[in-house]
Amino acid sequence: MRRGVTLHVIVNFFFLLNSLSQNDSDYSYVIESLIEINLTQADQGMNGIVTSDYKQLLQWHIDSYRHGIIDSIIPSDNLLKSSPANILHLLKCADIAGDKYNKKDSIALGNYKMALNQAKVINDTALIRFSYNKLLPFFFKNKQSFNKLSKYANEFRNYIQTPNDKATYLYYSHIEKVYTGGATLVPIYLKGLDHLEESNSHYLKAIINQIIGTQKVAYEQQLDSAIFYMQEAGKEYKKTEGVLGKNGEYSIYNNIGVALNNQGHFQEALGYLNLAKENIEESNYKNRSYNYFALTQVFKNLNNADSVYHYSQKEKEATQKFNEFENAIALSEIETKYEVAETEKQRLEEKSAKEKSQKTNLILILSIFLGSIIAFLIFRNTKRKQRIAEQEKELEIQKTTTLLKEQEITTINAMIEGQEKERLRLAGDLHDNLGGTLAAVKMHIGNLQANLGKSDNLQVLLDKANALISKAYKDVRSIAHERNSGVMAKEGLLPAIEKLASKVSSSNGLSIEVQDFGLEDRLSNHIEITIFRIVQELITNIIKHAQATEATISLTQHDSELNIMVEDNGKGFKVGELEDKDGMGLGSIERRVEYLEGTMEVDSSIGKGTNIIIDIPLIQS
């Protein structure tokens, strides 16, 4: 009977897979649309879905983005594991559990993780990315698990496929630093907007513009610029379909209203705060409380006592209702935990009684069995001890012989490794110190040839070329006598890079600008030297290959990380097709970055220049 049932289940399972491959090939298109919060496009994709389970689950996810989550009961787990339908079901369970009316965060997190793991098992990249797009906002909104955000963002990096994915990674991988303090992250988030230039993901554009506006106030005190980016966010929220757009409009309009009120533009502030009020859900007492408080402050500045009294009373009512709502949620959570605990207690008691009975029977059987073999074991143990003593003596002799051979091999390997390291160090010094200087000499001589008829500029270029030749001579001598760069040892990383940029820049050729954010203290000597070599190699590559007229070197130091961004307006190249023929090139740079336990990202295309982002931890493991 059992064998027949199993065969029936297997047949149905393969029939379901075959049906999916024939009729539901468009479900990935719907998932991609949901990742971008493009609900109109998702509706169009639903025309290709035939199987009822898939159709219902996908429609639920579309409706939850459009109208919000209206379910109050969390569904039970599906039986069919590691399938797209079950993954969509688990994500639905997680969304309902994590909703503001349930707040069962532990259940939500468990279902999100199960969905992600099952998506990885079947290697469905659309569902993997969809699961991460659910998990990352969950960690962001839940302060108790906020510290896990960067871990999951770094995992998501391995599944990036679209510009939208790149922007999502940039947003969530750095958002923790926004709230923990440090230097401005505006350059990084502007890069995120660049990725979204041709994307229809209005929601992602909105939240990145909003965080840039926040950064402009917090670190640059540029209120006008902050309001500009917040207004841009408002435009993108307005284009975002569903509840995310409406909630976003409330948030951004309320923030702009508060900022304008602080600047003294009271009437404009009142207009934005009224717009925010129109976008608040009826039951969202928390947002209503914030909005009424902001309106009270504006009317105080307008000396409108009646309105001040009216909105201060409404704020108190909204706050009271919000507190009642939170208490009800907390009580429900306590009751749920109690019920779970009671069920678990009963299960453990039943398990304990069963185990106790099994142990009693096992002890009785073992007592009879052990009594019969103890005598035999005593006899065997005596003989065994004699054999072990003989074997240990033989093993000791073998260990001594092996140890002597290993010591001899280790000594030889150490000598060979030392010789190889010295050769590599000398090759690296010649390439790094002399290669960049000679490349700059070549560029200046080219400028001399181009300006032979211009007598007013000829002497300047000649002096620069002569100075660089003198430096090349000194570099060759210093390689024989010094291990580190003299400029680095005396002045530090930033002055050395600025001096290098100044020497390379010329009036008719390449112009290099150096920007720094938070780079105030000296780093350890070996880190500074290695970073200097990396930047020196990148500049050499720009001179030799990029045909650029402008380049920018940005250095941003956070608490425990240094971000290096090198951009040029040169001819660019196709990433992945570049052959490293001339010198050490990108391969050498990658090895240096790996040595510092860092990461490097290259973004380039033909005719659009090159952008290289390097993140280096300042605390080495």
pLDDT at 328 over 90: no
Structure confidence by residue, pLDDT tens digits, 286-316: 777 778 888 888 888 888 888 878 878 888 8
CA distance 205 to 132: 18
Mapped onto helix, strand or coil, the DSSP state of residue 458 is helix
Do the domain assignments include residue 328? Answer: no
CA 518 to each of CA 23, 185, 521: distance values in angstroms, whole numbers, following the listed order: 56, 11, 9
Do the domain assignments include residue 342? Answer: no
The two three-digit tokens of residue 327, written as one number: 């208490």
pLDDT at 577 over 70: no
CA distance 164 to 172: 12
Do the domain assignments include residue 576? Answer: yes
Residues ≥6 apart with Cβ < 8 Å to 217: 223, 226, 259
Of the candidates 621, 421, 620, 435, the residue with the CA atom closest to the CA atom of residue 526: 620
Do the domain assignments include residue 348? Answer: no
Do the domain assignments include residue 361? Answer: no
Do the domain assignments include residue 364? Answer: no
For residue 91, name the pLDDT band (cuts at 50, 70, 90).
Answer: very high
Structure confidence by residue, pLDDT tens digits, 5-14: 444 444 344 4
Structure confidence by residue, pLDDT tens digits, 238-264: 899 988 888 888 888 888 888 788 878
More confident residue, 41 or 386: 41
CA distance 145 to 147: 5
Are residues 128 and 159 in contact, defined by beta-carbon separation less than 8 angstroms?
A: yes
Judged by average pLDDT, the poorest of 7-11, 102-106, 307-311, 401-405 is 7-11
Out of 262, 281, 306, pick the residue that ends a domain.
306
Out of 306, 326, 345, pick the residue that ends a domain.
306
Do the domain assignments include residue 323? Answer: no
Burial of 554-573, coded b for 16+ CB within 10 Å and e otherwise, reads bbbbbeeebbbbbbbbbebb
Are residues 215 and 189 in contact, defined by beta-carbon separation less than 8 angstroms?
A: yes
CA distance 601 to 612: 6
Do the domain assignments include residue 210? Answer: yes
424: burial class by Cβ within 10 Å (0-12, 13-18, 19+)?
exposed
CA distance 361 to 348: 20
- Per DSSP, the residues of 580-593 read --SSSHHHHHHHHH
Helix (H), strand (E) at residue 169: helix 163-180
CA distance 456 to 463: 13
Q: How many separate domains does the chain show? A: 2
The two three-digit tokens of residue 268, written as one number: 């404009």
Pairing label, strands 599-604, 561-568: unpaired
Residue 502 belongs to domain with CATH number: 3.30.565.10
**SS3 assignment for 333-347:** HHHHHHHHHHHHHHH
CA distance 535 to 539: 6
CA distance 200 to 40: 11
Task: Report the DSSP beta bridge partners of residue 555.
Answer: 516, 564
Structure confidence by residue, pLDDT tens digits, 198-246: 788 899 999 899 888 888 877 888 888 888 998 898 899 889 998 888 8
For residue 424, name the pLDDT band (cuts at 50, 70, 90).
Answer: low
Give me the phi and psi of 34, to 5 degrees please. -65, -35
Chain mean pLDDT for the chain: 78
Residue 227 belongs to domain with CATH number: 1.25.40
Note the pTM of the prediction, 2 decimals. Answer: 0.49
Of the candidates 35, 57, 31, 56, the residue with the CA atom closest to the CA atom of residue 45: 31
Out of 248, 282, 306, pick the residue that ends a domain.
306
CA distance 36 to 514: 36
Residue 292 pLDDT = 83
Sign of the CA dihedral running 175, 176, 181, 183: negative
Range of the domain at 613: 492-621
Of the candidates 611, 523, 606, the residue with the CA atom closest to the CA atom of residue 567: 611
Count CB-CB contacts under 10 A for residue 249.
23
Q: Furthest-apart CA pair in the chain: how many Å?
A: 111
Structure confidence by residue, pLDDT tens digits, 513-534: 999 988 877 888 878 888 998 9
Residue 482 pLDDT = 46
Residue 322 pLDDT = 64
